[in-house]
Amino acid sequence: MLELTVNLDERSYPIYIGQSALQQTGRLREHIGDCRPIIITNDTIAPLYLDDVMTSLADLNPLSFVIPDGEQFKSLDWFEKISAFLLEHNCGRDTCLIALGGGVVGDLTGFVAACYQRGVPFIQIPTTLLSQVDSSVGGKTAVNHPLGKNMIGAFYQPQAVFIDTKSLHTLPEREFAAGMAEVIKYGLIYDTELFAYLEQNIAKLKSLDEQTLQHVIYRCCEIKALIVAEDEKEAGLRALLNLGHTFGHAIEAQMGYGNWLHGEAVAAGMVLAARLAHTRGDLSASEVERIVQLISQYDLPVDIPSEMTSEQFLIHMRKDKKNKKGTIRFILPTQFGQCALVSDVTDQQVCDLIAR
């Protein structure tokens, strides 16, 4: 087992990474403490892992709640249903929610934990690549709204994160590819060596080579932990983790949550961000092509939905959480391994970019 720590003073917590994280019952119990565990999962993950987790915690009288699988269920409606379940079972503050699943389960469970009785502890057990390298770490919890993605939520840190790489062997190829979008993002915003490693190890990663997977997951979590420790609530540096997301969230909202996976939308968004950076003189044409090639080699889209108009992009991007005083702000690469938050992109430049 690999281990690293998200350093947030009294709210610091460990991340465990390995082939047997789901079997680390002793460590899991340490973080549950005297609380009653309530496992939140979805109907894809439940048949695979729920019984094992419930059995390992049987003497703690655990309960489980299963939601449908899909981005469209990360909603206020399902937030209310989980909250009602907790109330119906007289769950108090001595309750520990356990998010067993991907980003939807993790974000939704974390938001319930942040709000239920003004805060109960929760633990992340992410089962998708995207959630393992990104959404399970850092305490961003939220639900979607028809008018915008992740617009209702809270910063609320977990007690611990358990990343079992074996769970990736049951992950559909499309979901694995979606997770690779966030991995590529870390190379672009922070670590050129990671970007090169992803170029050199495409076959190993796609075949789920264990050593390669652990190396990549650990490095992504390490980068995110460093950024979160410096800027927990996204006052500055942490915004760089949103590379590709301004465009990507617009695609998800316009196309309907779940029709484009989050990672797919982010991948297309990173290509747009790279091309916009090129028009500003920050990236060369060859650097943009290198980004496009890597994204496409991991079976991710490099083009936006043909039916989306520039005005539709702008409508959604005007609701982006990074905006200030009505100005859309973008994360753009300034060179490999570095990005910046910019606020001087005009609507016309966006329209010209979309029209390409």
Active site residues: 118, 140, 182, 224, 234, 238, 242, 245, 249, 262
Q: CA neighbours within 13 Å on the CB side: how many for 276? A: 32
CA–CA–CA angle 242, 81, 146 (5° rounding): 40
The DSSP output letter for 1 is: -
Q: Does the annotation place 112 within a ligand binding site?
A: no
Q: Does the annotation place 149 within a ligand binding site?
A: yes
**In this structure, which amino acid lies at residue 19?**
Q
Contacts of 98 (CB under 8 A, 6+ apart): 32, 37, 38, 39, 40, 53, 109, 122, 123, 125
Q: Does the annotation place 127 within a ligand binding site?
A: yes
Contacts of 206 (CB under 8 A, 6+ apart): 176, 298
Q: Does the annotation place 192 within a ligand binding site?
A: no
Q: Does the annotation place 70 within a ligand binding site?
A: yes
- What's the longest Cα–Cα distance across the chain? 62
Q: Does the annotation place 153 within a ligand binding site?
A: no
Give the containing element (helix H, strand E) for 201. Answer: none
Burial 189-224 (b: 16+ CB within 10 A, else e): bbbeebbebbeebeebbbeeeeebbbbbbbbbbbbb
Q: Does the annotation place 74 within a ligand binding site?
A: yes
CA–CA–CA angle 300, 353, 130 (5° rounding): 25
Q: Does the annotation place 128 within a ligand binding site?
A: yes
Q: Does the annotation place 104 within a ligand binding site?
A: yes
Q: Does the annotation place 111 within a ligand binding site?
A: no
Q: Does the annotation place 92 within a ligand binding site?
A: no
Contacts of 350 (CB under 8 A, 6+ apart): 276, 310, 313, 314, 317, 328
Question: Could you tell me if 111 and 154 are in contact, meaning their C-beta atoms sit under 8 angstroms apart?
Answer: yes
Q: Does the annotation place 245 within a ligand binding site?
A: yes
Q: Does the annotation place 182 within a ligand binding site?
A: yes
Q: Does the annotation place 316 within a ligand binding site?
A: no
CA distance 114 to 80: 13
**Phi, psi (rounded to 5 degrees) for 40:** -105, 125
Q: Does the annotation place 72 within a ligand binding site?
A: yes
Q: Does the annotation place 89 within a ligand binding site?
A: no
Question: Could you tell me if 190 and 333 are in contact, meaning their C-beta atoms sit under 8 angstroms apart?
Answer: no
Q: Does the annotation place 140 within a ligand binding site?
A: yes
Q: Does the annotation place 106 within a ligand binding site?
A: yes
Tokens representing residue 68 in the block = 């449908």
CA distance 166 to 145: 33
CA distance 289 to 63: 50
Q: Which residues are annotated as a binding site for NAD(+)?
A: 69-74, 103-107, 127-128, 140, 149
Q: Which residues are annotated as a binding site?
A: 69-74, 103-107, 127-128, 140, 149, 182, 245, 262
Q: Which residues are annotated as a binding site for Zn(2+)?
A: 182, 245, 262
